[in-house]
Amino acid sequence: MKGRYEDLIAAAKAAMERAYAPYSGFKVGAALRTASGRIFTGCNVENASFGATICAERTAVVKAVSEGEKEFDAIAIVSSSGEVTPPCGICRQVLAEFTEDIPVIMAQENGDAKIYPLYTVFPQAKLPFEAEE
């Protein structure tokens, strides 16, 4: 199954190299494939005001949504930690805003990966509110 996501893992790794992480030294890259097949990448961008820092996964989602894409097929995440890195809670919620069941590929720089459906990474997610008519 990993072979199906090698392009996403490679794109996430390349995005990780562009991360701006002067404070933590912890670089993260993400690659998000949309239902139309487009791939949007993101890296973490730290800030001295830590609350202004944005994660790689949210960067990729924001880029996709700003280009009109709101249906996602899969996301890959690679970090400089040498271990698989799951998305943080905020990123899990942002992803859950658009989908419940995409594969979340957490890969090491060497390509070894663990793949989980989003709903197992973020059980009981707060899903978008549907207004009654």
In tens, the pLDDT along 77-128 reads 999 999 999 999 999 999 999 998 899 999 998 889 999 999 999 887 776 6
> Could you tell me if residue 38 is inside a domain?
yes
> Could you tell me if residue 131 is inside a domain?
no
Q: Mean pLDDT in the chain?
A: 92
Which positions are catalytic? 57
Compute φ and ψ for 6, nearest 5 degrees.
-60, -35
From residue 25, alpha-carbon distances to 17, 64, 67, 117 in Å are 12, 26, 30, 28
Q: What is the pLDDT of residue 129?
A: 63
Share of the chain above pLDDT 90, in %: 81
pLDDT at 58 over 70: yes
**Paired residues of 105 in beta bridges:** 76, 115
> Could you tell me if residue 116 is inside a domain?
yes
Give the number of domains in the chain.
Answer: 1
Q: What is the pLDDT of residue 6?
A: 94
Within the chain, residue ranges assigned H as helices are: 6-17, 56-66, 89-96, 118-121
Domain harbouring 47, CATH code:
3.40.140.10
Q: What is the pLDDT of residue 52?
A: 93
Contact present, 40 and 8 (Cβ < 8 Å): no
- pTM listed for this prediction: 0.91
Q: What is the pLDDT of residue 132?
A: 55
> Could you tell me if residue 130 is inside a domain?
no
The band of 42, judged by pLDDT with boundaries at 50, 70 and 90, is: very high
pLDDT at 133 over 60: no
pLDDT at 21 over 60: yes
The band of 75, judged by pLDDT with boundaries at 50, 70 and 90, is: very high
> Could you tell me if residue 133 is inside a domain?
no
**Residue-range definition of the domain harbouring residue 25:** 2-121
> Could you tell me if residue 8 is inside a domain?
yes
> Could you tell me if residue 94 is inside a domain?
yes
> Could you tell me if residue 78 is inside a domain?
yes
Q: What is the pLDDT of residue 28?
A: 98
Q: How many CB atoms lie within 10 A of CB 58?
A: 20
